[in-house]
Amino acid sequence: MKRGRYEAVVIGGGPAGAAAAYTLAAAGRQVCLIDKAQFPRDKLCGGGLTFRAKRAFEQTFGQPWRADLFNTSRDVHFYSRGRFIAAFRSGTPIDFMMRAAFDQYLVQLAERAGAELRLGESVAAIDIERKIVSLRSGEEIAFECLVGADGVNSVVAKTLYGRAFDLAKTAFALETEVPRAMLPLQGDIVEFDFSAARWGYGWVFPKPTTVTIGVGGLHRLNPELRQRFDFYVATKGLRAGDLKVKGQFLPAGDIRREPGRGNILLCGDAAGAVEPISGEGIPFALWTGAAAGRAVAASLARAGTEALTLYRRDYDAIVAPLLRGKRPRWLIYPRLIQPVFGWALGFSRVRDLVFTERRKRHFLSAAASPRPPSPAVSP
């Protein structure tokens, strides 16, 4: 049986794993990044990057933002049950990208910094006592420190805690990618509909060559999410049966207080580091990944100090706003508050809501375009 040995092993090549591997390699540590996929690989995601993601990227990789990867928008429209409520011009641009291209770029940055990549290799098991990662191919890889950046279904979290996430606290989302030609009036307008799911929302995100339409919400409150999704796409003039729809769990609201054990750390979705209202996870994946990388590098430099002890301070500061963000959900999501929330969005001048003639025309022409009959199920 083949056996490799590294100071640090990172499982997962998403934003969290790439940030951890890059940080470790840049600190001169011998690091191996393992991912079950060959890159470029798809990852179900709205691909929306806010100013936070941009800041997290620049802080982590010290590189300028690659504008060629993104489509940029500032115009956000709010809907309720398919009806337009309000428009809002964001002060900062929102970038949208395909995860295949973005994640490949991040992994390349980690490789250029000196990380060894093992792509197309799936981790089957982890022996915590012997500090060994077993690959499905049968190969074993020994580590001194391990970073679990393997997403929502984390094998590392399952090994440590018996399960990857708490089903009662976790969200589930369905998404489809639609060619831009199928939504000719959409332009670069971003849409949200907080009535599309219970304790969740629907979204339309304009990416470089496609438009992503999604519906997600707290899993236990949305047993009929597929019907809600079909209804939502019908309000956009599309028939769900014509679309390729995929689903995935999203740990929005399931943040780990204890992100690992000893020299095994969790970051990104594996730690539940996702904004509980919006589901935004990429900046927190980058920040926790980089923090895990720094902690492991420092632990290796000062043999004897556990990586988790060094990780805790940074991790707690990164997830503090996420833990605080759980409370305001009660101002948005409960059923009785939804109509008030929709009304407040429609009239709130305080929050810089703008409803210009141009957008009004856009909306009216979109509303006048032919649409299929509403599906029988109306959530």
Ligand X SMILES: Cc1cc2nc3c(=O)[nH]c(=O)nc-3n(C[C@H](O)[C@H](O)[C@H](O)COP(=O)(O)OP(=O)(O)OC[C@H]3O[C@@H](n4cnc5c(N)ncnc54)[C@H](O)[C@@H]3O)c2cc1C
List of residues contacting ligand X (CB under 6 A): 11-17, 34-37, 43-48, 53, 122-123, 149-151, 155, 173, 175, 214, 216, 248, 250, 268-270, 274, 279-282, 285
Give the CA radius of gyration of the chain.
Answer: 21
With respect to ligand X, which residue has the nearer C-beta, 141 or 310?
141
Q: Which residues pair with 9 in a beta bridge?
A: 32, 146
DSSP characters for 66-97? Answer: -GGG-EEEEEEEEEETTEEEEEEEEEEEEEE-
Order of strands across the sheet with 48-49?
48-49, 83-96, 71-80, 190-193, 200-206, 210-218, 171-179, 246-250
What lies within 8 Å, CB to CB, of 338 at 6+ separation is: 80, 194, 195, 332
- Least Å distance, CB 232 to ligand X, is 13
With respect to ligand X, which residue has the nearer C-beta, 82 or 202?
202
CA nearest to 278, candidates 71, 17, 19, 46 = 46
What lies within 8 Å, CB to CB, of 225 at 6+ separation is: 172, 174, 197, 215, 216, 217, 247
Q: Which tokens go with 37?
A: 């996929």
CA nearest to 294, candidates 172, 192, 176, 145 = 145
CA nearest to 22, candidates 343, 291, 371 = 291
With respect to ligand X, which residue has the nearer C-beta, 51 or 363?
51
With respect to ligand X, which residue has the nearer C-beta, 32 or 155?
155
- Least Å distance, CB 23 to ligand X, is 14
- Least Å distance, CB 113 to ligand X, is 17
Handedness of CA 332, 93, 57, 211 (dihedral sign): positive
- Least Å distance, CB 140 to ligand X, is 14
What span, in angstroms and rounded, lies between the C-alpha atoms of 261 and 311? 11
Count the residues in the chain. Answer: 379
- Least Å distance, CB 313 to ligand X, is 20
Question: Taking CB positions, which residue lies at the least distance from ligand X?
Answer: 281
With respect to ligand X, which residue has the nearer C-beta, 243 or 337?
243
With respect to ligand X, which residue has the nearer C-beta, 11 or 353?
11
With respect to ligand X, which residue has the nearer C-beta, 278 or 338?
278
Residue 153 burial (10 A CB sphere; 0-12, 13-18, 19+): middle
- Least Å distance, CB 360 to ligand X, is 27
Q: Which tokens go with 229?
A: 């999704």
- Least Å distance, CB 54 to ligand X, is 11
What lies within 8 Å, CB to CB, of 24 at 6+ separation is: 7, 8, 10, 31, 115, 293, 296, 297
- Least Å distance, CB 208 to ligand X, is 14
With respect to ligand X, which residue has the nearer C-beta, 102 or 231?
102
- Least Å distance, CB 150 to ligand X, is 4
With respect to ligand X, which residue has the nearer C-beta, 99 or 362?
99
What span, in angstroms and rounded, lies between the C-alpha atoms of 326 and 158? 24
